[in-house]
Amino acid sequence: MQTVQVKVLNSKVIDDPAFSLPTRATDGSAGIDLRACIDEPLTIKAGETHLVGTGLAVYIADPNFAGMILPRSGLGHKHGIVLGNLVGLIDADYQGELMVSVWNRSADDFVLNPAERMAQYIVVPVARPEFDIVTQFSDQSARGAGGFGHSGRQ
C-alpha cells in the first residue's frame, strides 16, 4: 500500500491558512500531525477529556494496515495533554472523521486553539494470523505464564 484516501470534511482545513493538509513535518517524520478543527479556543480543565474533530476522514481500505492516533510528546511532557484512550486504533474500513480524545491529565487547565497540533497519525502493518485452538502449547517458553512482576521488580 502506497496511498490512503483522505477526505476533507470541513472547509476550514482548506480555507484557513492555519490548517494544512496531511503532510509530514520532515522526511524522517513517521506520522502526520492532526490539528484541532474547532471554531474557538477550547479550555480543557484539569482531569477533563474532550472529543475533538480533525475535519478529516482517512480510508486505508487495505485490511493489512491500520491507522493509529498517538499523543504528541511535547504536549504530554510539557502540559499533560495525552489521549483519553492512550492510543487510538483506526481500522482499515473506517471512513468517518478522525476524532481525538484529548485528556488533560495535569493539575492545570489547558487551552487548545483552533488548528493546533494535538495528536499524530501513523499507518502500521497488521499481522492477520489464523488462530489454532489448542489444549496445550507446542512447547514451553522460559517465561511460561509469568505475568506482572515476573522479573522480580514489583
Place of cell 483522505: 6
Quickly list DSSP for 117-146: EEEEEEEEE---------SS-SS--SSTT-
The confidence score (pLDDT) of residue 17 equals: 84
Domains and CATH numbers, the chain: 5-125 (2.70.40.10)
The confidence score (pLDDT) of residue 96 equals: 97
pLDDT, tens digit, for every residue of 40-96? 999 999 999 999 999 999 999 999 999 999 999 889 899 999 999 889 999 999 999
Cα 26 to chain centroid distance, Å, stands at 19
pLDDT surpassing 80 at residue 113:
yes
